[in-house]
Amino acid sequence: MPVMEIHRLNALSDNYIFLLHDAVHQRAAVVDPAEATPVFNALDQLGATLTAILNTHHHGDHVGANQSLLARYPDAIVYGGAADQGRIPGQQVYLTEGDTVTVCDREATVFDVPGHTRAHIAYYFPPEPGTAGGDLFCGDTLFAGGCGRLFEGTPAQMVESLTKLRQLPDETRVWCAHEYTLKNLEFALTVDRNNSALRDRWQAVQSARQRQEATVPSCLGLEKQTNPFLRWDQPTLQEVTRSRDPVRTFARLRGMKDQW
């Protein structure tokens, strides 16, 4: 069975675009293309044809290259959330919870994960036979060490969305759309300072960023240990937020991060 190759492309100041490549058939799909040039360059280097654009939400730094890519690859299919209809350029397929998308001979399950926006979705590719972990493309819902701001959604929606994602296997690779990890962990230390796994991760990320290395993908098991926005039910964070209610605890953590 062919293995889907994942290429991480830099875009804008801190965005990541993900190119999914089927080397057997020389087909590719792209996740959240902020800019066209990095995608064109990668496709040319691989000798691949773009067949699909997978958007997680409508923000410009995730859909900015859709029209340029379609101009060169007019047969490419544009996927996005059903509730984003009219907001994603070139969208042709409108996805909801439980739908599946097949690209590069891999099938992804769609999760509705509103919070950052009202129509945000995520794509989860389960592990292939003989491999350890699946691949989660979560846009701006879950970050390495953090989560997205609540622009259109509510804390209750975001808790429900993150609950769906944290139920995935620990070995899941988390392909989030921004290089925010170091700043996220610096904030996390202000609310969870006695977490030894968090301190170790912060030191490792500091070293990686000094070497200009990417910190994406992350591992979901590590997120569960160190990301405060997946740990609203931990007593240490409940004490910091003075609440044992999951939504209120999360909301107070998110408010603290917004003001940090």
N residues, the chain: 260
DSSP state of 149: -
Q: Annotated active-site positions, please?
A: 57, 59, 61-62, 116, 140, 178
> Do the beta carbons of residue 257 and residue 146 sit within 8 Å?
yes
Tell me: cis bond preceding 2? Omega within 30 of 0 counts. no
Strand order in the sheet with 100-103: 100-103, 106-112, 121-125, 135-139, 173-176, 218-219
**Which pairs count as long-range contacts for 250-253, CB under 8 Å and 24+ apart, including other chains?**
250/155, 250/158, 250/159, 250/162, 251/155, 253/191, 253/228, 253/229
Residue 93: partners with Cβ closer than 8 Å, 6 or more residues away? 77, 78, 79, 80, 101
Torsion angle, CA of 152/155/160/166, rounded to 10 degrees? 100
Look at residue 189 and give its three-state secondary structure: helix
> Do the beta carbons of residue 119 and residue 58 sit within 8 Å?
yes
210, with CB counted inside 10 A (0-12, 13-18, 19+), is exposed
